[in-house]
Structure formats: C-alpha cells, structure tokens
Amino acid sequence: MVTLRTSSACLLVSLLAGAASAQSEVFASGFLHQATGHAQIGPVEGRRLPVRNLGSSGEDGVEIKVSSAHGGGVVIDAPDLKKKPAAEIKIKIRGWDGMIYGTYSMIGNGDGTGVTVYDYSEAGAIGIAITRYDGLGQVISDEYFPGDVVGKEWVPDDYCEDGSTPIPWGRWVKLCNTCEPVWVEGWMCPGTGQEYSNNNAARTIVRPILPAGTPVPGGMDAAMITARGMSSFAITDTHIGTFGAASWGLGDARPVETCGSSGDCSERALVIENLGTGGADGVAIDVGSDAGQTEVTIGRGGWDLKQSTKFHDDAGTQILAVAYGINPATGQPAMSLDFSGLGIDGYKVEYLDQDGVVLGTDFKNNYDPALGTVLCGPGYRERWVQGADGKWYFAGCDLIAGIIVPGVGEIGPVASMCITPVGADYHRVRTCTVTGTAEGGAMEINSVIVTPACKADFDHTGFVDTEDYDAFIRAFEAGTEDADFDDSGFVDIEDFTGFVHAFEAGC
C-alpha cells in the first residue's frame, strides 16, 4: 500500500525528526531502507523514517527491500504533494529479475487536485484496464486504455466521519499465485482503517494487459520512491504482503518471506529473524477492515516463557492475549488466556474430539494456568481461529491427549478447543502480534487465512436468517452507526437497499 498523507502537522514532525544525523541505510519496520541520489534518511523513530535533502532531479529518495512474491507497500507522509504545483511522488516496483513492473506517479496541481500516471511500459503492457467497484462489489465503471501509459485526473472527494485526515492509498498485489500484478487504489480513513475510492467507488483496480503468452512478472523485490518539488517526506509504515495481509517487524525483528519446493510460492512462510532477549521483537499482522473469520498459524521453535500472541480489534482494544507459564499443579509449561481487555473475567472452554463432538465443558478465569499442561512441544504449530460469531478455536500442536475437567474427570482424546468469552460483545480481529526471544528458537508465521465478512450476517451468529433482518431494521430505524451498510459515513436508503440485496443473496 502506498499512502500519501497531506496534513501540514506531519511535515513539522518529519522535519524535526530529521534534524539528527542521517544514515545511508537503516532498518525500519523490519525492512532495509537505502537512500538514493542525494537524499538523506534517518534517524528512525518508531516506524517513521524521514527522507530529506531532495533536489530537483527527481532521483532523490529511498529504496525499500521487500523481497516478496505477493507484494507489499509503504505509507508516505508527503504534506506538500497537494500544495505545490508540479510536486511529484514516484513509486517504481522492481521484480526479482531487476525489471520494473509498474511506475506510479502522483503529480499535484497546487490546488488539492492532480494527476496519477500509470506506466507499464517496461512490463511490456499493450493496454491498461481501470475498473471501479461499489461497496457491494458491483462494477461502477470499466475502462480500457490502449498502450502502456495512461494519466487520470483526481479530484479528491475524501471524507472521514471519525474526523481523521483522509489518506490517498495504493497497493501493488498479486490476487493469486499465477495472476498478473494489479494496482489497487483509493483513500483510507486512518481512524477506522476503512478504505474507499474517489467518485463514490469502494475500490479501484488498475491492471496492465500483457500480450498473450507473456510470463507473469516475478515477485516484488523492492519499492523505489523518489520525489521532486518538495524538500522532504517521511516513510511511516513499510509492510510485506506474504499472506494477503500487511505484516511488519516489531522491535529489531526482521520478517523474511520464504518459499517451499513448489516454485511458485504457494507454499510459503514468514520467518521472524533477529530476535533479541527482551521479548519485544516479533511481527504484527493487519488482516484488514473486512475480515469475517481470521485464522493464524504460528510455528515456534520451542517453549519460551517470553513468547506471546495478542489480538486487537479496529479500535486497538486487546481482545485476547495468549501467555505461557508454569502450571503450579503440575510444574509443567502451560498456556493461559486473557480476555480482560473486553471487560470480562473469564471464558468458557468446550473440548472437542476430531469430529467436533463436545467431550466436556469448563469455565475459567483470565490467566488460569490450567488450560492445559504440555499442550505443544518443540517445533509445534499453534493455530488460532476467530469465527464470524466471535468464538475462538485452538487446534493443532500435540493437543490430542486426555484432559482433566473439574467435576467431569479425564476426557479425550481432545483435538481442539472452542473458547467463548463470557458476556463479551462481538469484537472482530484487526491485528495480531507475535513476539518472542532468541532463546525460544525459530519463530515463523505459517499461514494467515482471512474470510471476508458476510455483511448480511448482521448479528454475527455465523449464518444469515430473519434475526439479521430484524436487527438491521432496528438499527436502520434508530439511525445507529452500524446501519451504515455501505460505509458512506451516514445512514440513508442506499444502506437499506444494499442490505436487502446482500440478505437476499445470503451474504
């Protein structure tokens, strides 16, 4: 994702941050950033990297090593883009073979408007298709432009109901392993993470049309960002798109995408390197603003009491924290859960066999170390799933064993657990963080699977029925925020129409 922030306040921050000594290369968000031309970069503050000393050549900027078969992106804080005539930000996407697979330039007119130029000449495109979709995935417009370069004017109609400053955004992605890369763009409200496109579109996709038989371009090795007509900008977020979700390093950790033996990276993992001893190094994963069910599989090198997994919602509220400690009753390592961020004291656990049959039920308090004894050994994979109904499922590892449930006795073998926070409202997962230490051995993300939310499932039960219809009508008549079905910022007849269409379609 390439995002251009336009608030003048951000410019002051970036200039002050850049007052200290600059470096020619530095790691930020876990990825290598190298200065190009006469630009000066650094120092890093959190995830923010100032880029200064930009001349008029258009060659000064920063190169970011991503090295992913599935793309990635950055967030660029460029306050002067909309203010100064002919100010320009240019992003080039370089593949592993050194070829440039797309160049995207945003050129300001000085009055808040500008032009975006899409250039696929080096990729050998014979045409460019630009398709706009509404909030229900219906095509609003579908344009085709012959040739390999096209410019489109933009007049921002961005607005954020939450009061946050709208951010134009773009993302280079491959929608499947064998698909050609596409450029997805629009604008985003940073307060909520909701994404939109100009002219009332929910999403705009720009796709190069390649000659028949042309090999699909390779992965994204690097993003090269240069500017002219401005003295500075800042990189505030760099991420990788390994599993179709934005991921970045925490602390000093460095996420590295690896591919299996298939050759097309359909088998892949995100290995977390350069872990220190403090327990703060790891990876963050943003699953997006439209996740229904989220599944994350984590591979660990072994038991380490400083390793932890945390899940947060759109507002940053901690939904679930997974910790590891010693069960005082057994003296063995055990896993404990914490749902206190939801304002509750405990949770219900249903122990399931391999066919999903409930073997026993137990109620536990937050951080109860008796959830299990040695659930997983060295080299295990830990799989967490949050369903669309808000329930959590834990499966995998060495969990197939007998478990003693108070008042019931030993049951088993147990293949998985269904975990329900007691008395909590539905909170959808937005981000997951996994941290650990070098003493814990290797740590990697093996998979992130996100199922888009079924918006017609209004009451989050996991299926669509008349109760969803009744719940939506009540919210619509009351004009509450959750009745804004099309995410337009206000509740009107379009929301009612959109919900009815989705309800009739069953999702």
Q: Is residue 459 part of a domain?
A: no
Among 452, 480, 496, the domain boundary falls at: 452
Asked, as a colleague might, if the bond just before 413 is cis with ω within 30 of 0, I would say: yes
Would you tell me how many other CB atoms lie within 10 Å of the CB of residue 41? 25
Asked, as a colleague might, if the bond just before 43 is cis with ω within 30 of 0, I would say: yes
Same domain? 42 vs 153: yes
Same domain? 301 vs 172: no
Same domain? 313 vs 413: yes
pLDDT number for residue 19: 36
Q: Is residue 212 part of a domain?
A: yes
Q: Which helix (H) or strand (E) holds 132?
A: strand 127-133
Q: Of the candidates 11, 12, 15, which has an alpha carbon nearest to the alpha carbon of residue 79?
A: 11
Same domain? 260 vs 400: yes
How many structural domains is the chain composed of? 3
Same domain? 236 vs 355: no
Q: Of the candidates 330, 352, 336, 350, which has an alpha carbon nearest to the alpha carbon of residue 412?
A: 352
Same domain? 279 vs 347: yes
pLDDT number for residue 358: 92
CA distances from 24 to 37, 43, 91, 253, 274 (A): 10, 10, 19, 20, 21
Q: Is residue 458 part of a domain?
A: no
How far apart CA 115 and CA 109 sit, in angstroms, is 8
Among 215, 241, 267, the domain boundary falls at: 241
Same domain? 317 vs 441: yes
Q: Is residue 295 part of a domain?
A: yes
pTM for the model? 0.80
Q: Is residue 31 part of a domain?
A: yes
Among 241, 260, 284, the domain boundary falls at: 241
Would you tell me how many other CB atoms lie within 10 Å of the CB of residue 76? 28
Same domain? 235 vs 257: no
Q: Report CA dihedral (364, 367, 372, 374) to the nearest 10 degrees.
A: 180
How far apart CA 88 and CA 115 sit, in angstroms, is 10
Q: How far apart are the first and last CA of the chain?
A: 28
Q: Is residue 460 part of a domain?
A: no
pLDDT number for residue 35: 97
Both tokens of 119, joined, read 């250039």
Same domain? 288 vs 160: no
pLDDT number for residue 314: 85
Half-sphere exposure of 7 (CA within 13 A, CB side): 11
Same domain? 155 vs 270: no
Q: Is residue 457 part of a domain?
A: no
Q: Residue 326 is part of a domain; what is its CATH number? A: 2.60.120
Same domain? 142 vs 269: no
Q: Which pLDDT tens digits describe the chain residue by residue (507 residues)?
A: 333 333 322 222 222 233 344 579 999 999 999 999 999 999 999 999 999 999 999 999 999 999 888 888 787 888 788 788 999 999 998 888 888 888 999 898 888 788 889 999 988 899 999 888 765 567 888 999 999 999 988 766 556 667 776 666 666 666 555 566 677 776 667 666 666 655 556 677 888 998 988 776 667 899 999 999 999 999 988 998 888 888 999 999 999 998 876 666 777 889 999 998 888 999 999 988 777 889 999 887 655 556 789 999 988 999 999 877 666 666 666 778 889 999 988 899 998 888 889 988 888 887 775 555 445 655 678 889 998 788 999 876 766 777 777 777 788 788 888 999 998 888 889 999 999 887 766 788 999 988 877 777 777 666 677 887 788 888 888 888 778 877 666 787 877 888 887 777 777
pLDDT number for residue 15: 26
Same domain? 370 vs 314: yes
Q: Which domain holds residue 202?
A: 2-241
